[in-house]
Amino acid sequence: MKIALFADVHGNKAALEAVLDDIDRQHPDAIICAGDAVNPFPESEAVWKILRARNIPVVRGNHEEYMLAYYQPDRNPDIRRLIRFMPARFTARQLSTRTITEIDALLLTHTIAGPDGDDVLVCHASPLRADRSFAAGIDADMTAALAHVPAKTIAGGHVHMQWQMRWRDKFLVLTGSAGQPFGDTTDAQYLMLTHRNGKWHAAHRTVPYNLSATVRAITESDFLKEGGPMAWLMLDELLTAELRMVPFLRKFCPTPRPETLSEWRDWVRRYLEAIGRWEPLQPYIREAYFVFRDACFVTSDA
């Protein structure tokens, strides 16, 4: 038996198409998306329609939760409030009512029946939460979350890297990111699980895709304007396969956070200048940089 798993498409249609083309050549018995199919990139609606048309199951990721929180603010008021979630607000406005309804029905986990009861549980980050991965460390809470799962193999995404480890009686494995990988390559990533000799074996695959088509979709949309300065960091992550958002927010952006959009713009510029990425991004963001006017936001994010 073979299972193809991918995650973290993040609205990257060209990457999804390349991954599915490669998967189809492997003739798996099942295909599943381990969350974060949508957001932030502007072809999220098209990505969702492809998954629905092919009846590919999707588990709920934290970015699906962001989309729901935009329309149901009690879930997470910060999505509508904080500047750093401007890209999520942009994406949520692009999604159809039907898509939001379908996302609202997603579950945190999906179990695939394996040979002789050797099932695979698929989640986004962990079986009980969409925003914290077992790859980040297994403390008492994570131990409890993993231990209650009957399946011996648990597959997920979330951290945008291909990874695996044995823990107690479990095989923990990550798919990598189809649409926004981090590491040595910008190529799309996915996972093929094959059951042989009584256990599951992981093959981490990478697939070249038309990155320029994705960049063109970004620049031809309003993402770099309406998504604000955080969108610029996301674009650079796509171009370089290097983390930008996390180091900016954790190490560079001051606390208390800036209060106006123009202040955020200037702090992002300083960061990109400090790492040598401001000039390379100019062809993409020059126009967006000058459209912002001062706008006050409450910014309590840490």
Residue 302: pLDDT over 60: no
Residue 289: pLDDT over 80: no
Q: What is the pLDDT of residue 297?
A: 45
What digits encode the pLDDT tens for the residues 166-180? 999 999 999 999 999
Task: Choose the weakest-confidence range: 145-159, 206-220, 284-298.
Answer: 284-298
CA distance 245 to 255: 15
- Is the separation of the CB atoms in 223 and 89 below 8 Å? no
CA distance 139 to 142: 5
Residue 3: pLDDT over 80: yes
What digits encode the pLDDT tens for the residues 264-273? 999 999 999 9
Tell me the H-state helices in 167-244.
211-219, 223-226, 228-240
Q: What is the pLDDT of residue 300?
A: 46
What digits encode the pLDDT tens for the residues 77-93? 999 999 999 999 999 99
Q: Name the pairing type of β-strands 162-167 and 170-175.
A: antiparallel
Instruction: Kindly indicate the confidence band of residue 301, based on its pLDDT and cuts at 50, 70 and 90.
Output: low
What pTM was estimated for this model as a whole? 0.95
Say how far residue 267 (Cα) sits from the centre of its chain: 24
Residue 298: pLDDT over 60: no
Residue 295: pLDDT over 60: no
Residue 291: pLDDT over 90: no
Task: Choose the weakest-confidence range: 11-25, 34-48, 212-226, 288-302.
Answer: 288-302
Domain boundary assignment for the chain: 2-207, 222-289
Task: Choose the weakest-confidence range: 94-103, 121-130, 134-143, 285-294.
Answer: 285-294
User: What's the topology of domain 2-207?
Assistant: Purple Acid Phosphatase; chain A, domain 2 (3.60.21)
User: Measured at the alpha carbon of residue 207, what is the angle toward residues 280 and 278, in degrees to the nearest 5?
Assistant: 10
- Averaged pLDDT score across all residues of the chain: 95
**Secondary structure tally for the chain: helices H, strands E:** 13, 9
Q: What is the pLDDT of residue 174?
A: 99
Q: Which residues contact 292 (CB under 8 A, 6 or more apart)?
A: 228, 261, 262, 265
CA distance 198 to 64: 35
Q: What is the pLDDT of residue 133?
A: 97
Residue 205: pLDDT over 80: yes
Q: Please indicate whether residue 66 or residue 148 has the higher confidence score (pLDDT).
A: 66
Q: What is the pLDDT of residue 286?
A: 84
Q: Buried (b) or exposed (e) across 133-163, using 16+ Cβ within 10 A?
A: bbbeebeeebeebbeebebbbbbbbbbbbbb
What digits encode the pLDDT tens for the residues 231-244? 999 999 999 999 99
What secondary structure letter does DSSP report for 260? B
